[in-house]
Structures are given as structure tokens and as C-alpha cells.
A and B are shown apart, each in its own frame.
Chain A
């Protein structure tokens, strides 16, 4: 088994004439946490959307878990083991925690097509197990999401990854809308994933958070990857220089 869980070659996305993503070569090792940074519109989210097949790429290759993949949609990507925590929380407010975790892939007691009987007990047990693994604390699983704080909601979204033993977790600004205490809680969950050796791609604007949590930083600018930096060989100033375009990585000289 290769040490690389995800690799993209020449990943490119054009929206009409707009080159949102141009020739991204990217590698993620197993057990590695990588942050993607860059200004607004730099191509971070576009990059993620190609990997998770929310959009279809213009060209390029994606190799996931040793195999070239061509997901036709986010469901296929998820079934293959790529779990995404979206910037906009993809939760149904009126449903409770297990319902949300298993939305679209419910455990069934009997399979009768759309009228299959739900396995509430099984889903609840799997949810509790998943929450334990991520160290997510949610007081009342039967509470509707509507009655939860922003931090708890984000935790529920993240707990999905643990519940389904995904091979790769992608988080798109998971703490952007959270308070201090809630941010700390989410960061703890991310550290927990790290300890368990779960690979992660983290999109974040928060420099402190990134240096705290990840092994490597990949900087995007104007749709291209302009730097690939090990956290312990760089500092905030350096990263900002790459983000703003004051500096460009040697191996990416032609990019900017």
C-alpha cells in the first residue's frame, strides 16, 4: 500500500474563461494533516470541490487510496471514504444527531426500497461510538440540531467522519463561525484525529490554528499552488508573503 492517500496531477478547473484552478499537483500522505491557505478566490474551495466531485474538473488526474478515481458526485466520493465538513453546515435542523449523521445512508432493518425500516438503535449506537472516537461531547443526542449551539453543530458535522471510518477528512473553515471556546473544542477534535492517524485537509485563514494543528501548509494564489511548506521550517511572515504574492516557491517559479 502506498504511503500516499491522495494525489492530484495537473488538476484544473475553468469556469468559462475564469481559470479558478490551474495545474494543481498535490500529495497527501497517510497520517498527515495539511492546511490549505490562500486569499479569497485563490482556488482553495475550488480545489476541494474537484476532489469531492461537487464539481467536475476540467482536466487532471485524482489518485485516491492508490487508485485513479473519477467520482461522478459527492456521494460517490463519500462512499469511497472522503468525508467533507462544509463551510455551510450541511445539517437538517429539525432532525436529531443520529439522523443527521446517517442522513442519506441510513441503517436499515429491512430493505424495502424507499420504505425501508430504519434501524434507530443501530444508528444511535454507531453515533455514540463515533462521538467517543472523536471525543465530541454532545449532551443530548435526541435533541434537534436547531436547539444546539454553533459549536455543537460543527461537532456533529465533524463526528460524521469518525462514525463512517472515512479515509480522508476535508474541513472547509470549520471554525470560521465559532466562538473561542467552541473553536478550542473543534481544534481538540482535530488533534484527536491526528493522534489516530487520520489524514486531514484543513482549509483555514487562521494562522495560529494552522501552525498549531498541521504538518504542512500548501499555499494557493490565483488558482495555482505557489508554496509547499513544512510547518517547522517556516513562520507566519513567510506564509503571508506567499499568500500575498510577495514571494513564490522556487519549484513553482513559473506559476505566478
Chain B
């Protein structure tokens, strides 16, 4: 409060400050949308005759200690956690003014490579039937596949970023190329064979609710990084006005490479969690995850023109994504309706955002 009085004491002198233009955070709108969607599902559950009064959100059969249907909430958040981790990186890339189409393929390639370094020697007393390397690669400490995976993700991101920053390739093209290349790497790695049977330590990374733990921890970390560090400020600045950022002395090329590298590492970490959760890696893993991750960010209010958005928004966007998936299952509607609705919601989110921007601009 003290701050705002101090500012207004500077006076306006003809350039009026409209109170109505006070910043109502966009995240609040998205959160309201999330609540609205939950309410709609809850209402449909009560209204549709075949639902027998089942509740979407609440524990109606006294299965849990709380009033909520914990099982459903857990599934919702578990479903979105892994793609959510990718979305944390994609959010930064989009705020920067770029796009990353390669993250889903990076998940596939990283999962294959990581799992090869995480295999256990004996499966139920028999030799591992899916062994990729020889004796030396069995039962390695869990840090080895972790580092290998993150380095691979960083390497892919470094290539993406370098082509974009130093060769001036449009992000769409550079990452579209990587989208194909990384999927190729995934298939080439074992000539299409799945890689399975990780060590217990590795499996722990994806066990139970661990994916959610990673997602939440990383979301908090990158929220703080974007909000309170020079890295975050420059990411917004470049996405907002690249020329201004350049004239202000920001090393734009280096910064772009850094953002894509971090996005690559987050995609790789998602691959680690996913393969640890599934206890196997397959060449098709992570397909269309890149688009889901972009969708989460966009639903969460991240502007595709760059400069606007936040990690909090993306996390809420991910929750909306999960609620819709879970809600359609709850209403026993087939998956194709779900896809149709998701498509509509993504476009609708952008339309709403643009309408909001225009309204803000016309007030200015």
C-alpha cells in the first residue's frame, strides 16, 4: 500500500491514470476459468440422468478422509505432470518470442537413451532381455542416466538455439527440423526396439506421485527464476521488443541459446520421469506432447507473440487440460469428444486473450 501512495504523489499533470486500468492479473482470469470448468462438469454430473448423482469433485462414497474425491484429483494432476514439465520449458521459449516443436520428439529420443543407461542386469533372476549395451552398462548409479539424459536434452536445445540465434533460422523451422531428427534418433538408437527394465533407483523417479513432486518443484523454481532473476527479465524483454533489448545491451543470441537449452533439458527431464514411470522406453514416446505443452501454455495465457505469460498461468493451463481430460472420462464420453473440446478450448483461449488485449489497448 505504501508504494502506491508514494507513486501517486508524483502527480499526473494532465496524463490521467485510470483506476479501472489497474492490473487484474491474467492468471486470476485463467483460474476462474478453471473453476468454471470444474463447476460445469460437477453440474453435468448432477444433471445427466445416467450419472446417478455421482460427483466430479467431491467424495460421495466416503472413501477418503477429506470431502474431496482424492483419487480423481490425483489422477488429474498425475496426468498433466509430465507434459507439464515440458510446458515449463515451452512457456519460456514462447515468452522469448519463439516456439519449440521438438520437445515431444526429444522426449522419445531421451527416453530411449536414458533407459539404456538405467537398465538392470537381472530381471527376475534372468538376464535382461532388452539389454542395449554390454555388461558395463548394467546397474549404473542413478546419477548416470540422469546426467546423460539432461546433457542430451541440453545438447538438442543448444542446437535449436544456435540455429535460431546465430543462423537466423525461424524457430518454427529450426525446431520442426529437430522434431523429425530427434524422432529419427529415437528409432535409430535400438533400431526400433523398446528398452526396458530399469534399476529400482531409476524407477523411483517416476513412481507413485513423484512426477507431480518434480512438476511442482520445477514449477516453483522456474516461477522464481522468471520473476526474480536477470534471466527472466531478459526473456520477457526479448519477447516483448527484440530491438529494444538489443539496444539495451542484452546479449540476445546468447540468451536465446540459453532459453532453448533449458527447454531442452526440461523436455529431457520429462522423458526421464516418463520412462521411469512406465519402466520402459519406446520410440513413439512423447508423440504430440509438444503440441499439448504448447496448448497448456496458451490456455495459461502465454502469448504466442512473446513477452507475456507466466509459469503460474501455465500450471493453471495444465490443470485445465487435466480437468477436461478427466471430466470427459467422468462423464463417460469417448476420447474423440475430448479432443474436439480441447481443440475448441485452445482456440477459444487465444480468442479471449486477443479480445482482452484489444480492450486494454483501446482504453490506453
Contacts and interface: CB of A to CB of B under 8 A. Distances in A.
A100 B237 CA distance: 9
A80 interface: no
A148 B364 contact: yes
Given A103-B248, A128-B10, A146-B361, A114 B236 contact: no
A103 B230 contact: no
B229 A116 contact: yes
Given A137-B10, A149-B15, A114 B229 contact: yes
Specify the main secondary structure of chain B where it touches its partner.
helix
A137 B231 contact: no
Given A92-B236, A92-B237, A92-B245, 18 more contacts: A74-B247, A86-B247, A89-B244, A91-B244, A92-B240, A92-B307, A94-B307, A106-B230, A114-B255, A118-B233, A132-B10, A137-B13, A139-B10, A139-B17, A149-B15, A149-B364, A151-B15, A152-B15
A103 B245 contact: yes
Given A75-B249, A92-B237, A92-B244, A117 B361 contact: no
Interface of A: 73-75, 78, 86, 88-95, 99-100, 103-106, 108, 112, 114-118, 120, 124, 128, 131-132, 137-144, 146-149, 151-152, 181, 185
Interface of B: 3, 6-8, 10-17, 21-23, 225, 228-231, 233-234, 236-237, 239-241, 243-245, 247-250, 255, 258, 307-308, 360-361, 363-364
B111 to A, nearest CB: 28
Contacts of B239: 94
A120 B230 CA distance: 11
Given A99-B233, A105-B249, A147 B12 contact: no
Contacts, number: 118
Closest A-B pairs by Cβ, 8 of them: A139-B17, A104-B248, A75-B249, A94-B307, A104-B249, A92-B240, A103-B248, A94-B240
Nearest to A76: B249
Q: Which among A94, A100, A181 has the highest number of chain B CB atoms within 10 Å? A: A94
A106 B231 CA distance: 11
